[in-house]
Structure 1
């Protein structure tokens, strides 16, 4: 079981099971939603995820995606796609121990900002993982 939450502590969660698809996403939507050049995500089975304190505010960032964030401090928390209803992506930096789930690749690098250098040797995909 892993735990995490927002900066101010108003919203907390826990997730169980083995995480998968830990990635750096460079898509323009993630950039705009987080106000950052990329977002590190780690995916868990939706059935093993639950809010333990408070609840997020959600907004539809695209037709099939709801993004969860803390309504008090604005921390990006989750990415929930109706195309993958059995999964939930958690912003890796919001985990209590983010070092335990390091990203294994970069996705949507065609949208990477030209001033963002990534020389970590991880696989890169122009759009989604192939």
Structure 2
């Protein structure tokens, strides 16, 4: 099992090492909720996801539910019973080892921020330097 947690550690979880699918989502809903240009997701059976701690749920769309830590605000899970019945999407970056699950696709690219296409062309620094 893989382990993960929110920023403050109040919510911890375990999930299977194998996901049903894993992808990077570029939709506006994911961007606005995370404050990031895209979000990595791994879909698992809800019954295989073990969660320790209290979650807050936000209805982000007609069928979508985003779950996050009520203390630090870290987004952790996405549920949509219409699209993913009995399944939960887990934010890959909240895993203790985010390299354990590698996205295999990009979705909602029609909503992708244009400059994201050029990330590999930008100057890169291994650490922030003032």
TM-score by length of 1: 0.85
CA-based RMSD of the aligned residues comes to 1.5
User: Which ranges of structure 2 fall in alignment gaps of 5 or more residues?
Assistant: 121-130
Question: In the TM superposition, what is the alpha-carbon distance from 1:3 to its structure 2 partner?
Answer: 1.1
Question: In the TM superposition, what is the alpha-carbon distance from 1:55 to its structure 2 partner?
Answer: 1.6
What CA deviation, in whole Å up to 9, does each residue of 1:30-85 have, x standing for no partner?
Answer: 00010111000011111111212x12111000011110111111111000111122
- In our comparison, the structure showing a higher alpha carbon Rg is 2
1:77 — aligned with what?
Answer: 76
Q: Distance in 2 between matches of 1:31 and 1:66?
A: 15
Tell me which protein shows more helix as a share of its residues: 2
Is 2:59–2:65's contact at 8 Å kept on the other side of the alignment?
yes
Is 2:11–2:51's contact at 8 Å kept on the other side of the alignment?
yes
User: Which ranges of structure 1 fall in alignment gaps of 5 or more residues?
Assistant: 121-130
Structure 2 residue 55 is the aligned partner of structure 1 residue 28: no
Q: Secondary structure at the match of 1:103?
A: coil
1:123 — aligned with what?
Answer: none
